[in-house]
A and B are shown apart, each in its own frame.
Chain A
Amino acid sequence: MRSFPRAMRGTTRRAVLAGGLAAVLTASLAACGSSDDEVTGGGVGTAEKPVSIRMIANDAFARQWQDQMVPEFNKLYPNIKVTIDGVPYGDLLAKEMLELTAPDPTYDLIVADDPWIPQLAKTGGLADLKGDLGKFTKADYDWDDFNTGPLAAGEWQGKQYSVPVRSNELLMFYNKTLYAKAGLPEPTPKLTWQQYLEQAPKLVQDTNKDGKPDAWAVGTYFTKDPLTPTIWQTILNSNGGQLLDGDNKPAFNTPAGVAALQTHIDLLKYAPPGAATYQFNEPLEAFRQGKTATMFMWGSVYKGTAVDPKTTTLKPEQVGIQVMPVGSLSAGAHRGMWTAAVAKKSKQAEASWTLLQWLSSKQGEQWQSNTLGVFPARKSTLSSTPQQEWLVPVFKAIADGYVAIDAGKMWRPKLPESDAIQQILATQTSRAMSGQATAEQALQTAADEVSKLLKSKGY
Chain B
Amino acid sequence: MTTNTQTAPARGGTSSPAGPGDRRSRRPRAGGPGLRHRWRDLASRWVFLAPALVILAAVLAYPLFYTVWISFSELDLATFTPARSVGWMNYRTVLEDPGFLNSLKVTGVYLALALPLQMLLGFGIAFLLNVEWRGRGVLRALFLIPMVVVPVVAGGVWKMLLDPLWGFVNYVLGLVGIGPVNWLSDPTLAMVSLVLIDTWRWTPFVVLIASAGIMSLPGDVLEAARVDGAGWWATLRKIVLPLLAPVILAAFIVRWLGAVKMFDIALAATKGGPGQATDVVNLYIYEKAFRSLEFGTASSMATMVLAITMVLTFLFLRLNRYLEKRW
Bound CA span A30–B282, Å: 20
Q: Does A392 lie at the interface of the complex (its beta carbon under 8 Å from any beta carbon of B)?
A: no
Chain B residue nearest to A216 (CB atoms) is B165
A26 touches B299 (CB 8 A): no
Q: Does B295 lie at the interface of the complex (its beta carbon under 8 Å from any beta carbon of A)?
A: yes
Bound CA span A124–B80, Å: 12
Chain A residue nearest to B282 (CB atoms) is A26
Q: Does B274 lie at the interface of the complex (its beta carbon under 8 Å from any beta carbon of A)?
A: yes
**Which residues of A sit under 8 angstroms from B295, Cβ to Cβ?**
25, 27, 29
Chain B residue nearest to A18 (CB atoms) is B63
Q: Which of A27, A98, A226 has the most CB of B within 10 A?
A: A27
Q: Give B61-74 as 1s and 0s: 1 = Cβ < 8 Å from A's Cβ atoms.
A: 01110110010000
Q: Does A438 lie at the interface of the complex (its beta carbon under 8 Å from any beta carbon of B)?
A: no
B163 touches A23 (CB 8 A): no
Partner of B306, one of A24, A35, A97, A276: A24
Bound CA span A124–B77, Å: 9
Known: A223-B273, A272-B165, A276-B182. A21 touches B63 (CB 8 A): yes
**Which residues of A sit under 8 angstroms from B78, Cβ to Cβ?**
35, 101, 122-125
Q: Does A423 lie at the interface of the complex (its beta carbon under 8 Å from any beta carbon of B)?
A: yes
B4-12, B118-126, B218-226, B285-293 - interface stretch:
B285-293
Interface bracket on B: 35 or more
Q: Does B201 lie at the interface of the complex (its beta carbon under 8 Å from any beta carbon of A)?
A: no
Q: Does A185 lie at the interface of the complex (its beta carbon under 8 Å from any beta carbon of B)?
A: no
Tell me the residues in window 66-123 of chain A with beta carbons closer than 8 Å to chain B beta carbons: 91, 93-94, 97-98, 101, 119, 122-123
How far, in Å, is A184 (CB) from chain B's closest CB?
A: 23
**Which residues of B sit under 8 angstroms from A21, Cβ to Cβ?**
63, 66-67
Chain A residue nearest to B70 (CB atoms) is A29
Bound CA span A276–B99, Å: 21
How far, in Å, is A81 (CB) from chain B's closest CB?
A: 29
Chain B residue nearest to A25 (CB atoms) is B302
Known: A223-B273, A274-B185, A430-B274. A27 touches B163 (CB 8 A): no
Bound CA span A229–B220, Å: 67
How far, in Å, is B205 (CB) from chain A's closest CB?
A: 20
B182 touches A273 (CB 8 A): yes
Bound CA span A23–B291, Å: 18
A20 touches B59 (CB 8 A): yes
Bound CA span A20–B61, Å: 9
Bound CA span A125–B273, Å: 34
Tell me the residues in window 180-200 of chain B with beta carbons closer than 8 Å to chain A beta carbons: 180, 182-187
Partner of B185, one of A23, A24, A434: A434
A27 touches B164 (CB 8 A): no
Bound CA span A430–B302, Å: 25
Known: A20-B62, A25-B299, A27-B295. A33 touches B79 (CB 8 A): yes
A224 touches B273 (CB 8 A): yes
Known: A94-B290, A276-B182, A420-B294. A20 touches B58 (CB 8 A): yes
A98 touches B80 (CB 8 A): yes
Bound CA span A24–B263, Å: 13
A274 touches B164 (CB 8 A): yes
**Which residues of A sit under 8 angstroms from B298, Cβ to Cβ?**
25, 27
A123 touches B186 (CB 8 A): no
Chain A residue nearest to B99 (CB atoms) is A427
A436 touches B291 (CB 8 A): no
Q: Does B320 lie at the interface of the complex (its beta carbon under 8 Å from any beta carbon of A)?
A: no
Known: A26-B286, A419-B292. A273 touches B164 (CB 8 A): yes
Q: Which of A17, A20, A272, A277 has the most CB of B within 10 A?
A: A277
B275 touches A276 (CB 8 A): no
Q: Does B277 lie at the interface of the complex (its beta carbon under 8 Å from any beta carbon of A)?
A: yes
How far, in Å, is B68 (CB) from chain A's closest CB?
A: 9
B62 touches A423 (CB 8 A): no
Q: Does B313 lie at the interface of the complex (its beta carbon under 8 Å from any beta carbon of A)?
A: no
B276 touches A427 (CB 8 A): yes
Q: Does B3 lie at the interface of the complex (its beta carbon under 8 Å from any beta carbon of A)?
A: no
A277 touches B186 (CB 8 A): no
**Which residues of A sit under 8 angstroms from B293, Cβ to Cβ?**
94, 97, 119, 419-420
Bound CA span A109–B15, Å: 57
Bound CA span A172–B305, Å: 44
Partner of B275, one of A273, A286, A434: A434
Q: Give A265-278 as 1s and 0s: 1 = Cβ < 8 Å from B's Cβ atoms.
A: 00000001111110
How far, in Å, is B36 (CB) from chain A's closest CB?
A: 40
Tell me the residues in window 409-459 of chain A with beta carbons closer than 8 Å to chain B beta carbons: 416-417, 419-420, 423, 427, 430-431, 433-437, 449, 456
Partner of B270, one of A27, A33, A224: A224
A423 touches B292 (CB 8 A): yes
How far, in Å, is A458 (CB) from chain B's closest CB?
A: 12
**Which residues of A sit under 8 angstroms from B274, Cβ to Cβ?**
223-224, 276, 430-431, 433-434, 436
How far, in Å, is A243 (CB) from chain B's closest CB?
A: 16
Q: Which of B182, B274, B277 has the most CB of A within 10 A?
A: B274
The residues of B with any CB-CB pair to A shorter than 8 Å are 58-60, 62-64, 66-67, 70, 75, 77-81, 93, 99, 159, 163-167, 180, 182-187, 263, 270-277, 279, 282, 285-287, 289-295, 298-299, 302-303, 306
7 A-B pairs with C-beta separation under 8 A: A20-B59, A20-B62, A27-B290, A101-B78, A273-B165, A420-B292, A437-B275
What are the 9 A-B residue pairs with the smallest beta carbon separation, nearest first?
Answer: A224-B273, A27-B289, A276-B185, A274-B164, A434-B274, A431-B275, A20-B63, A420-B292, A273-B164
10 further A-B contacts with Cβ under 8 Å, apart from A29-B66, A436-B275, are A24-B63, A24-B64, A24-B306, A29-B75, A30-B80, A31-B80, A97-B293, A417-B292, A427-B272, A430-B274
